[in-house]
Amino acid sequence: MEKRSLISTRYTVSKKDKRLLIRKVRDCLGGSATEILKQSRKVEKVKTRIDNVIVIMVDSKPLFILMGEEVYPTIVGHVKFGIMVDIPIVYVDSGAVPHILNGADVMAPGIVRITGEMSKGDIVYIGEDENKRIFGAGKALMEKDEIFSLKRGKAIKNVHYAGDKVWDLIIRELL
């Protein structure tokens, strides 16, 4: 039995839509991600059958995910193409990694350090401290100082990680 594609439509965005997308990316991810989009020759939106997920292809590379009003970097963009947007990185201990790779949110006790300035609501990368590898992206649920002073509770909402449905879609259908 053949698997049904997770892509519903794919199209090149207009110049007007590209400007709107650049604004949204700047608001969510900041300057380095904005420059990637500004310098691109071709930007495509890939609407998926995954709840509320649109993959943004930049010069044929799946670099961003649009979820509602928020933009996240794809992990494939970093792992395969070395694209790293300038957002904080939340490093966790190796014991937390398997749980996060199964979709769990990042708990404050598992966080060992954070690079860059981070506030509640910011988009962040999730990385493993021991190997310094990035394997997820999420949204901060606490302020940076809260995480280290409280040392309890959910600190980062896990939005996208290596091996999730979006990762599989990108690997199987977009690359």
pTM of the model: 0.93
Summarised one tens digit per residue, pLDDT across range 91-132 is 999 999 999 999 999 999 999 999 999 999 999 999 999 988
Q: How far apart are CA 108 and CA 155, in angstroms?
A: 5
117 plus 151 within the same structural domain: yes
> 17 lies in which domain range?
7-84
Q: CA angle, corner 111, sides to 109 and 117, nearest 5? A: 130
C-beta separation of 112 from 92 below 8 A: yes
Summarised one tens digit per residue, pLDDT across range 10-48 is 999 999 999 999 999 999 998 889 999 999 999 999 999
Final residue before a domain boundary, out of 35, 50, 84: 84
Q: What is the DSSP letter of 52?
A: T
Final residue before a domain boundary, out of 84, 112, 138: 84
Dihedrals phi, psi of 116, to nearest 5 degrees: 85, 170
122 plus 62 within the same structural domain: no
